[in-house]
Amino acid sequence: MALINGEQYKASLAKLRPNIYKWGRLIEDVTTHPATRLHVESVSHSYDAAFTEEAGIFTRTSHLTGQKAHRWNTLMTSAEDVLANSQMKRAQFHRTGTCQGATCAGWTALNALWAVTYEADQEYGTAYHQRIKDYFALVEDNSYALAGALTDAKGNRALGVAQQPDADSYLHIVETRPDGIVVRGCKAQICGVAAAHEIICVPGSAHTEADKAAALAFAIPRDAAGITIVETRRPSDSRDEEEGWDSPKAGGITQAFLLFDDVFVPNERIFLCGEYPYTGVFLHYFTAIYRSAIGACVAGQGDVMIGAAINMIQANGLKQKTFQEKLSQMAINNEITYGIGLGAMFKGAQHPSGIWIPDPLLAHVNKTQVATLPYQTKVLAQEISGGIAETGCFPAYQDFQSPEYGDKLVRALTAGIDGKERAKAARLVEWLTVGGGIPGCMHGGGSPEGAKLVVRKSEPWDHFAEYAKRIANAGKLDA
């Protein structure tokens, strides 16, 4: 049963134990609650895409079974596979206006663990790699959606893991049993959990020997005993719960804080447990894959911003030509982040374990651009769209319904097109640029400062100095 459709996916999600909260209240059914249903719908689309003309992007032949599987249940073994990852991300934004969430980071983490366990086994004589294989089979067999949980709560940023006054600032082992381990702590700002069956827990930073207890990688069902999940707020998020058109309802994303309260993880689901040198290796592989692909996310969102701006131009009664220079600049921004990512894939190499590792330097250079160019694209979208879209400065849906003055508002908003349609178009720009659809491109998937650190470590500065010295002195009199 390698392929399921959206309905089957939602049915399977609904069977999970309710353990997700928002507004201080338990969410009984993630597939219908307004705080989570939009992301579930997004992911549901991805499942359905296995049966549409986009199947080539959203599925792949399984490396384990040779059967068609959802792409996020398979291994990336070539640059073309990472490219397909990118294409899926961009397509997802085109379709839902938001990111993949439950079919993204967990999948990437499993790929990175494929290589990490391969290496760790060689050093430690462990048998993690076979566990990953088995777990991959389980995932494919159940067509799981997988959240990836990297970021710990972290506590005081000036202190290391072991020095935190509150040990739960990092997810850590509290007990080792013959059949597994017990873990406690908090993973923060985790994307897409509400739409996932399972959570892949992995390190969020490179740990030292003192931090061994936090050097952990494992898979856990989202509703395992002891896990409490609290959804975070997004800008303008309460609009999702309103009726009306003040927030687009095509898709959505969720982020959550995961509270692990003495959660048991059985041995067969553990992929790292104390092998602290491999936390850094994991991040090295994870970020190389992840950051080569995230350019596609912001490119996809940027494409929608371009479309939204074009629609506002028409809605304002104006011509696209007048704004073409700005639209083209938006497109250039999109293609830069997409293109550098492709460059990273092309310049990558195959790991002995079989997965493809894009070039880390280009992947991290890409992160620096992903952290900045989308802001420019947003500013351009606002500039093109005009005042009503910049800050959503026009009345609420409810006011348009007023028998007293609603019609006048519609007339006041009518320009190139009917006022109600123009309002919807403007709300999309607002949502994309200062609302629930903003990308979180700066720190999402790691901050640009971290990426710059990789740049600093990767470039051969001394060689550059040597080239310059040679050129400066070539053929010169010394007199």
Residues 6+ apart with CB under 8 A from 150: 105, 109, 187, 190, 202, 203, 204, 286
Whole-number minimum distance, CB 133 to a copy of itself, in Å?
Answer: 29
C-beta closer to a copy of itself: residue 186 or 355 = 186
Residues 6+ apart with CB under 8 A from 225: 263, 264
C-beta closer to a copy of itself: residue 128 or 448 = 448
Coil, strand or helix at 247: coil
Whole-number minimum distance, CB 331 to a copy of itself, in Å?
Answer: 5
Buried b (16+ CB within 10 A) or exposed e, 314-352: bbbeeeeeebeebbeebeebbebbbebbbbbbeebeebe
C-beta closer to a copy of itself: residue 160 or 274 = 160
Q: What distance in Å separates the CA atoms of residue 50 and residue 40, rounded to the nearest whole number?
A: 16
Whole-number minimum distance, CB 199 to a copy of itself, in Å?
Answer: 16
Q: Count other C-beta atoms under 10 Å from residue 68's C-beta.
A: 15
* Bridge partner list, 349: 357
C-beta closer to a copy of itself: residue 71 or 427 = 427
The amino acid sitting at 395 is P
Whole-number minimum distance, CB 117 to a copy of itself, in Å?
Answer: 28
* Bridge partner list, 228: 259
Q: What distance in Å separates the CA atoms of residue 219 and residue 27, rounded to the nearest whole number?
A: 23
Whole-number minimum distance, CB 456 to a copy of itself, in Å?
Answer: 5
Whole-number minimum distance, CB 91 to a copy of itself, in Å?
Answer: 10
Whole-number minimum distance, CB 109 to a copy of itself, in Å?
Answer: 18
C-beta closer to a copy of itself: residue 137 or 410 = 410
Whole-number minimum distance, CB 100 to a copy of itself, in Å?
Answer: 15
The amino acid sitting at 138 is L
Residues 6+ apart with CB under 8 A from 16: 30, 197, 221, 222, 223
C-beta closer to a copy of itself: residue 266 or 317 = 317
The pair phi, psi for residue 287, each rounded to 5°, is -70, -35
C-beta closer to a copy of itself: residue 135 or 257 = 257
Q: What distance in Å separates the CA atoms of residue 447 and residue 13, rounded to the nearest whole number?
A: 32
Whole-number minimum distance, CB 405 to a copy of itself, in Å?
Answer: 5
Q: How far is CA 154 from CA 141, 159, 163, 283, 447, in A?
A: 35, 9, 11, 16, 14
Whole-number minimum distance, CB 16 to a copy of itself, in Å?
Answer: 18
C-beta closer to a copy of itself: residue 231 or 275 = 231
Q: How far is CA 132 from CA 67, 75, 290, 353, 360, in A?
A: 19, 11, 19, 12, 24
Whole-number minimum distance, CB 76 to a copy of itself, in Å?
Answer: 15
C-beta closer to a copy of itself: residue 34 or 274 = 34
C-beta closer to a copy of itself: residue 67 or 324 = 324
Residues 6+ apart with CB under 8 A from 187: 149, 150, 151, 152, 153, 171, 201, 204, 257, 258, 260
C-beta closer to a copy of itself: residue 134 or 262 = 262
Token match 């070039």: residue?
359
Whole-number minimum distance, CB 5 to a copy of itself, in Å?
Answer: 19
C-beta closer to a copy of itself: residue 135 or 400 = 400
The answer to whether the CB of 375 falls within 8 A of the CB of 441 is yes
Q: What distance in Å separates the CA atoms of residue 32 and residue 47, rounded to the nearest whole number?
A: 18
Exposed/middle/buried for 17, CB within 10 Å: 0-12, 13-18, 19+?
exposed
